[in-house]
């Protein structure tokens, strides 16, 4: 008899924990859906593109922000007033040609 009671209580506890986990997951999904829909609604009202604001806050602390590489995302593009004047010449390596 004690094994039946303990197995029944174990089953009830497991069932309660599964229900709590499901409620937690559904509440997280609902919160994400509400935040996304509010962001899209704001974008429709203002006429601007929706922007992921959460990750933009952390990008300023990335190593690329301190030492940007050439052509890396987040680097400043060349301005229209920056002019680079170079002379073009062809470099041929005749030893490698067949």
Helices (H), 47-93: 53-59, 63-66
Residue 69 contacts residue 75 (beta carbons within 8 Å): yes
Most confident of 3-7, 29-33, 84-88: 29-33
Spell out the long-range contacts of 29-37 with Cβ–Cβ below 8 A and sequence spacing 24 or more.
none
CA distance 61 to 59: 5
Say if residues 50 and 40 touch (Cβ distance below 8 Å).
yes
- Could you report the per-residue pLDDT of 52-63, keeping only the tens digit for each? 666 556 666 666
- Tens digits of per-residue pLDDT, 12-57? 999 999 999 999 999 999 999 999 899 889 989 998 887 766 655 6
């Amino acid at each position: 008899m004690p094994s039946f009671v303990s197995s029944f209580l174990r089953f009830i506890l497991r069932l309660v924990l599964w229900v709590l986990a499901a409620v937690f997951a559904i509440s997280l999904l609902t919160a994400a859906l509400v935040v996304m829909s509010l962001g899209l609604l704001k974008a429709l009202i203002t006429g601007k593109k929706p922007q992921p604001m959460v990750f933009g806050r952390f990008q300023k602390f990335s190593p690329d922000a301190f030492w940007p590489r050439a052509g890396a995302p987040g680097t400043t593009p060349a301005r229209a007033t920056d002019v680079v004047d170079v002379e073009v010449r062809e470099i041929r390596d005749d030893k490698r040609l067949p």
